[in-house]
Structure 1
Amino acid sequence: MTIEWLKFRVSPDSRERFVQVDAELWTPFLSQYPGFISKEVWISPDDLSEVVQVIYWETFEQWQAIPAEALDRVETQFAEAMGDVYELLESKRYQVRKRN
């Protein structure tokens, strides 16, 4: 299993809208592709500007097989819906070594 880990800075006033629009656009888009398992969205009670997304994929290859032009199209829709209130701070990849 491969984990896609994304950390965003979001205007605190826009955080809930960010989570909502993400659920409306990104999650259905990703879930249509083979290898998508699930997605979690974490918000910090201590830092209202922080949003972390954890996306579970069966394999790295399946995740990377999503066409770049399709990703760009959804990102454009998301950016148009949200405006300039968020910034991607970190993007990481992990592998699940052990799960209990």
Structure 2
Amino acid sequence: MVIEWLKFTVDSQSREQFIQQDEAIWTTSLSTYPGFLGKEVWIEPSAPEQIILTIRWQTREQWKSIPIKDLTTIEQKFATVMSKMNINYTMTESKEFQIRKFPSNQ
């Protein structure tokens, strides 16, 4: 399994709207692609302006096979909605992690 880890900065007053629109636009779109396993939103209580999204993919190949054209279209739709809602956001970090599981000694 591969984790796509994204960190955003958004005004804390707009955080819930950002999360709702991310779910409606990004998560709904990504869930149609092979390999998408799920998504979580992480909120750090001491940093209410930060949002971390973790997206789980079955394989890196499946994740990276999403056409750039599709990702651009989804981002444009999301950016348009955010603009209409007067919500500014910035992706400040993106990382990739692999999950390794070790057999238990039974």
SS at match of 2:29: helix
Report the TM-score, using the length of structure 1 for normalisation. 0.95
2:24 and 2:58 map into 1 onto residues whose CA distance is: 22
Q: What residue number does 1:98 align with?
A: 101
- Deviation at residue 74 of structure 1 after TM alignment: 0.6
Kindly tell me the number of residue pairs found equivalent between the two proteins.
Answer: 100
Amino acid at match of 1:86: Y
Q: What residue number does 2:73 align with?
A: 73
**Structure 2: runs of 5 or more not aligned:** none
The list of structure 1 runs, each at least 4 consecutive aligned residues, that deviate by more than 4 angstroms after superposition, is none
- Deviation at residue 43 of structure 1 after TM alignment: 1.3
2:42 and 2:81 map into 1 onto residues whose CA distance is: 21
1:87 aligned to 90, 94, 105, which one? 90
The sequence identity of aligned pairs, in percent, is 48
- Deviation at residue 45 of structure 1 after TM alignment: 1.4
More displaced stretch, 46-55 vs 77-86: 77-86
Report the TM-score, using the length of structure 2 for normalisation. 0.89
Kindly name which structure, 1 or 2, has the bigger radius of gyration based on alpha carbons. Answer: 2
Q: What residue number does 2:27 align with?
A: 27
1:34 and 1:23 map into 2 onto residues whose CA distance is: 18
Spell out the pairing of 1:3-22 with structure 2 (5 A cutoff).
3-22=3-22
